[in-house]
């Protein structure tokens, strides 16, 4: 039976838990910084901490995301609370936030909506970086909105939260920018098996994976001001389909960008009209040719960064 820090780390290795994850869990249960562990391999783990530490290591070994065990995940410089009611925010989604900030430029009075906000990651990052803009966030899941509200409260950021499917609860309103990381994994995609700890409705709309992207693209022109932008995250093999959906929804200036791994990850389109600006070409190295690579079936960011 493990009792010291070193023995617990060895036990975690036996279970197949990544060393960094084991250190982070151990540090959390001991109330110490991770750096403390490095010099205290002989220190005893108090009996009171051992039972819950053992449970967490078992859960991590069974695939539970580290963020659910620690209860938090950093996103765009903000430490967010996460629970199993929400998708764990992925680093790839920060691309979407950066792109939105570039499109907003120095506008001070813009109205922005984050559709399917989950724990509030995108909405809160935008509210944090541009305190003068009005940010609304929606989700179908009441439990997710509860987590997002808690994060807004803890971070003292102002976001309006609205419950309901995609554009439905926003009838009669207009936005300068809409941003959405919808569920986009196909229902039969085997990668979903490795993501079973996260809410299925946050990962897949079932079918071909495009239903949510279709609904959001189709409703955008009616809810955007002339010149307003829609930004969508999608799977790397969905670029062709999403550009067609944006064009079919009446949007123009359609563009796709890649993530740091060079995979098509997000696309934007603009409602025709005079108010919008040309999208800033601030990161030309991230722009990709409008050609989809269909060779790799692991098309979703969640599939690659589930922990
Ligand atoms: C991929 S998660 C994105 C969460 C968060 N925006 C992020 O980037 O980490 C998709 C979110 O869309 C929500 N969702 C699923 N179906 C929806 C619908 N029909 N209308 C509104 N939100 C929906 C899910 O509850 C989930 O929070």
Ligand 1 atom index nearest CA of 89: 9
Average pLDDT over residues 249-276: 92
Q: Do residues 88 and 95 touch, judged by C-beta distance below 8 A?
A: no
Distance 258 CA to ligand 1 centre (A): 21
Residue 303 has a pLDDT of 60
**285 has pLDDT over 60:** no
Q: Is the pLDDT of residue 300 over 90?
A: no
Residue 107: pLDDT band by 50, 70, 90 thresholds? confident
pLDDT tens-digit readout, 15-52: 999 999 999 999 999 999 999 999 999 999 999 899 99
Q: How far is CA 198 from CA 61, 193, 203, 284, in A?
A: 15, 10, 8, 34
Distance 166 CA to ligand 1 centre (A): 9
Share of the chain above pLDDT 70, in %: 90
* Nearest CA, atom 17, ligand 1: 140
* pLDDT reading at 305 higher than 80: no
pLDDT category at 274 given cuts 50, 70, 90 is confident
pLDDT digits (tens, 9 = 90+) for 117-148: 999 999 999 999 999 999 999 999 999 999 99
Q: Where are the domains of the chain?
A: 5-62, 72-304
Question: Pick from 161, 173, 185, 200: which is nearest to 233 by CA?
Answer: 185
CATH homologous superfamily, domain 72-304: Vaccinia Virus protein VP39 (3.40.50.150)
Pocket of ligand 1 (CB under 6 A): 86-87, 89, 93, 116-118, 121-122, 138-141, 144, 165-166, 181-183, 201-202, 212
Answer yes or no: is pLDDT of 158 > 50. yes
Averaged pLDDT of the chain? 90
**Does 284 or 271 have the greater pLDDT score?**
271
Secondary structure (3-state) at 296: coil
pLDDT of the residue at 135? 98
Whether 74 and 139 have beta carbons less than 8 Å apart is answered as: no
Look at residue 108 in the predicted model and tell me its pLDDT.
Answer: 86
| CA atoms of 51 and 201, how far apart (whole Å) | 32
Say how far apart CA 294 and CA 305 lie, in whole Å: 20
Cα separation of 222 and 113, whole Å? 14
- Output the pLDDT for position 282: 47
In the reported structure, the alpha carbon of residue 210 is separated from the centroid of ligand 1 by a whole-number distance in angstroms of 13
**Where are the alpha helices (H) located in the chain, listed in sequence order?**
5-15, 19-30, 34-38, 47-61, 66-70, 93-104, 121-129, 142-155, 200-203, 211-223, 239-248, 301-304
């Amino acid at each position: 039976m493990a009792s010291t820090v070193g023995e617990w780390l060895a036990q975690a290795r036996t279970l197949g838990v990544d060393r960094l994850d084991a250190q982070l869990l151990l540090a959390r249960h001991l109330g110490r910084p991770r750096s403390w562990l490095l010099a205290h391999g002989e220190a005893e783990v108090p009996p009171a901490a051992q039972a819950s530490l053992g449970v967490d290591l078992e859960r991590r070994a069974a695939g539970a995301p580290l963020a659910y065990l620690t209860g938090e995940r950093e996103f765009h410089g903000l430490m967010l609370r996460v629970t199993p009611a929400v998708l764990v925010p992925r680093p790839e989604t920060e691309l979407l936030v950066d792109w939105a900030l570039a499109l907003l430029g120095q506008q001070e009075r813009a109205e922005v909506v984050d559709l399917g906000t989950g724990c509030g990651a995108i909405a809160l990052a935008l509210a944090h970086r541009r305190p003068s803009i009005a940010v609304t966030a929606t989700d179908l899941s009441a439990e997710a909105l509860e987590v997002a509200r808690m994060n807004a409260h803890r971070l003292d950021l102002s976001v309006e939260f609205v419950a309901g499917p995609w554009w439905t609860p926003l009838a009669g309103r207009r936005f300068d920018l809409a941003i959405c990381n919808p569920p986009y994994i196909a229902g039969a995609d085997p990668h979903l098996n490795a993501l079973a700890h996260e809410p299925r409705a946050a990962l897949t709309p079932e079918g071909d994976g495009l239903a949510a992207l279709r609904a959001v693209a189709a409703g955008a022109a009616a809810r955007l001001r002339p010149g307003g932008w829609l930004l969508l995250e999608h799977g790397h093999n969905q670029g062709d389909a999403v550009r067609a959906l944006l064009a079919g929804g009446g949007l123009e200036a359609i563009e796709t960008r890649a993530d740091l791994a060079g995979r098509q990850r997000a696309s934007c389109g603009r409602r025709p009209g005079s108010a919008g600006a040309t999208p800033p070409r601030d990161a030309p190295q991230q722009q990709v040719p409008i050609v989809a690579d269909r060779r790799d079936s692991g098309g979703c960011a969640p599939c690659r960064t589930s922990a």
